[in-house]
């Protein structure tokens, strides 16, 4: 009858919903696993970059830190921003007469990471080159320009000493860079 057909369809729909939930859980699990793999991969890349950056001389200007062929903003704005807000701000940023500032790539941020943490004057620990210690906020996660996809971008966590990707709508700090 119609009632029996209706009940069969409802059961099929319920079964499909359960199956969809199982698939979503599996996708979430795989996404977490992929994130862990990519974090390990980035951490290994960061170690190679660190070895190179240790040999880099850092020069200080009034508003700029010069690291190799890059100029970094010496006093970043300690305001949490989304990835899009950070990129928009870069378009308006003018430091020491230069207006071509941008977010650094994840590889450029990895070049600032160190193997051991150092303490700044506030006793906060950071895995960052000594010249950047005093400019680090306590929760020191910084956006990079490197996108994982349209929803996620990479960031460097100088408090923990590694990199990972997060949703672009979340808020982190921004440090700006330009070619010297």
Q: pLDDT of 141-163, one tens digit each?
A: 889 999 999 999 999 988 888 89
Is residue 22 within a helix (H) or strand (E), and if so which, with residue range? helix 2-53
Strand partners, 154: 165
Look at residue 8 in the predicted model and tell me its pLDDT.
92
User: Looking at per-residue confidence, does 151 or 52 come out higher?
Assistant: 151
Across the chain, where does the E strand assignment appear?
58-60, 64-67, 70-73, 113-119, 125-128, 141-147, 152-157, 162-167, 177-179
> Which helix (H) or strand (E) is 42 found in, with range?
helix 2-53
Q: Is 53's pLDDT higher than 50?
A: no
CA–chain centroid gap for 65, Å, is 20
Spatial distance between the Cα atoms of 76 and 124, rounded to a whole number of angstroms: 17
In the chain, where are the structural domains located?
3-179
Strand order in the sheet with 141-147: 141-147, 152-157, 162-167
112-113-115 Cα angle (round to 5): 140
- A 10 A CB-CB count for 67 gives 21
Q: Which of 56-65, 69-78, 90-99 bottoms out in mean pLDDT, i.e. has the lowest?
A: 56-65
pTM of the model as a whole: 0.64
Q: What is the pLDDT of residues 90-135, one digit of tens each?
A: 999 988 888 999 999 999 988 888 777 767 666 666 767 766 766 6
Query: Quick one: CATH architecture of 3-179?
Result: Roll (3.10)
Bridge partner list, 142: 156, 173
- From the number of C-beta atoms within 10 Å of its C-beta (0-12, 13-18, 19+), residue 138 rates as exposed
Give yes or no for a contact between 147 and 134, defined as CB atoms under 8 angstroms apart. no
């Amino acid at each position: 009858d119609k009632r029996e057909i209706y009940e069969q369809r409802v059961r099929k729909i319920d079964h499909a919903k359960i199956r969809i939930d199982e698939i979503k859980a599996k996708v979430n699990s795989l996404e977490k696993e992929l994130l862990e793999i990519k974090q390990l991969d980035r951490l290994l890349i960061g170690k190679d970059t660190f070895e190179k950056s240790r040999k880099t001389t850092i020069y200080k200007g009034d508003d700029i830190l010069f690291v190799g062929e890059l100029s970094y903003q010496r006093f970043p704005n300690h305001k949490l921003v989304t990835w899009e807000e950070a990129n928009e701000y870069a378009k308006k940023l003018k430091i020491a007469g230069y207006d071509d500032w941008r977010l650094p790539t994840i590889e450029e941020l990895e070049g600032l990471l160190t193997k051991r943490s150092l303490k700044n004057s506030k006793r906060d620990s950071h895995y960052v080159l000594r010249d950047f210690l005093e400019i680090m906020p306590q929760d020191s996660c910084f956006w990079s320009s490197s996108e994982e996809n349209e929803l996620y971008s990479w960031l460097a966590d100088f408090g923990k000493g590694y990199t990972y990707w997060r949703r672009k709508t979340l808020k982190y700090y921004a440090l700006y860079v330009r070619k010297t």
